[in-house]
């Protein structure tokens, strides 16, 4: 029987649970990874949630150390806990639930994205953060202009921040497009040829699907993008018109 290790990862630490070893907490750093490896031994299948960016270092370290690693959508684990009427919400309990889920489902093995894709994803993430900051700066400028007397030092400061953010976004967009063309030229050209899809949307599709290698079939891709139909029927009287579920990636889901 496979020795599954359920792991609940947070920023500074992670809790692990195994049926044969019990539960233990480790620091989410190289020292903690080393101690974790000694604790679980050489035969273990490590399963964790995709908890923001916090799981990435642990998953990558364990994968490169030779362990099979699985990364599960947090919503799946949440629904599993609800199905089992789990009332307590602690990191230790979550690690136990992940181990139990893995024992029942035998999840597929994860592997890190290629280096160029990791670079693109990081650049895309930074650009999205800069875009949010730029929006905040524009809002601050708009609020400043509502004052009856605008001081030049305050206005100049915000304008400088706005220009810097705009320049950084333009530079990142250029670098992302260049790197995407280097590795995904064929996919980029095919997507742009579809009416209604521009370069930015095409790049986002390529990155979010890891070059269309992230999914095993078209149904998984449709569900991820949030365009799968939602059927609502119950008994003889309730039969609503099917609608797009929009339960998927917000940036790709239709408005």
- 36-48 residue pLDDT tens: 999 998 889 999 9
- In 3D space, the residue among 224, 231, 228 whose CA is nearest the CA of residue 207 turns out to be 224
pLDDT for 70 beyond 90: yes
Q: Rounded CA gap, 173 and 124, in Å? A: 8
Confidence bin at 84 (pLDDT 50/70/90): confident
Position 187 scores a pLDDT of: 92
Q: Rounded CA gap, 112 and 176, in Å? A: 20
- 103-139 residue pLDDT tens: 999 999 998 989 999 999 999 999 999 999 999 999 9
- 161-202 residue pLDDT tens: 999 999 999 999 999 999 999 999 999 999 999 898 899 989
Place of tokens 């490896």: 37
Confidence bin at 255 (pLDDT 50/70/90): very low
Handedness of CA 54, 60, 62, 68 (dihedral sign): positive
pLDDT for 254 beyond 50: no
pLDDT for 156 beyond 70: yes
Parts of the chain belonging to CATH 3.30.420.40: 4-105
Global pTM reads 0.74
3-state secondary structure of 68: coil
Mean pLDDT on 76-83 = 84
Q: Between residues 146 and 219, which one has the greater pLDDT?
A: 146
- In 3D space, the residue among 224, 217, 248, 214 whose CA is nearest the CA of residue 110 turns out to be 214
What is 4-105's CATH number? 3.30.420.40
Confidence bin at 237 (pLDDT 50/70/90): low
pLDDT for 246 beyond 70: no
Helix axes 56-64, 30-40, angle to 10 degrees: 50
- Tokens encoding 38: 């000694």
Q: Rounded CA gap, 132 and 152, in Å? A: 25
Number of Cβ within 10 Å of residue 238's Cβ equals 8
pLDDT for 208 beyond 50: yes
Helix axes 199-208, 115-144, angle to 10 degrees: 130
CA dihedral of 41, 43, 49, 55, whole degrees rounded to 10: 50
Mean pLDDT on 15-19 = 93
């Amino acid at each position: 029987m496979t020795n599954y290790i359920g792991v609940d990862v947070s920023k500074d630490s992670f809790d692990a649970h195994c049926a044969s070893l019990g539960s233990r907490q480790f620091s989410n750093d190289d020292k903690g990874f080393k101690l974790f490896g000694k604790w679980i031994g050489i035969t273990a299948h490590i399963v964790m949630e995709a908890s923001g960016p916090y799981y990435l270092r642990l998953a990558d370290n364990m994968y490169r150390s030779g362990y099979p690693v699985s990364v599960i959508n947090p919503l799946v684990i949440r629904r599993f806990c609800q199905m089992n009427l789990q009332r307590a919400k602690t990191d230790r309990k979550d690690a136990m639930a992940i181990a139990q889920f893995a024992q029942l489902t035998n999840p597929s093995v994860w592997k890190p994205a290629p280096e160029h894709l990791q670079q693109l994803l990081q650049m895309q993430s930074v650009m999205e953060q800069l875009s949010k900051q730029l929006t905040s700066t524009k809002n601050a400028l708009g609020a400043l202009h509502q004052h009856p007397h605008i001081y030049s030092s305050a206005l100049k400061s915000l304008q400088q921040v706005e220009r810097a953010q705009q320049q950084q976004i333009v530079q990142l967009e250029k670098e992302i497009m260049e790197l995407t063309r280097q590795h995904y030229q064929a996919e980029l050209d095919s997507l742009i040829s579809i009416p209604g899809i521009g370069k930015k949307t095409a790049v986002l599709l390529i990155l979010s699907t890891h070059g269309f290698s992230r999914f095993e079939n078209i149904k998984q891709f449709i569900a991820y993008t949030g365009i799968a139909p939602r059927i609502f029927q119950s008994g003889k009287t309730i039969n609503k018109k099917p609608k797009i579920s929009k339960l998927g990636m917000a940036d790709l889901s239709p408005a």
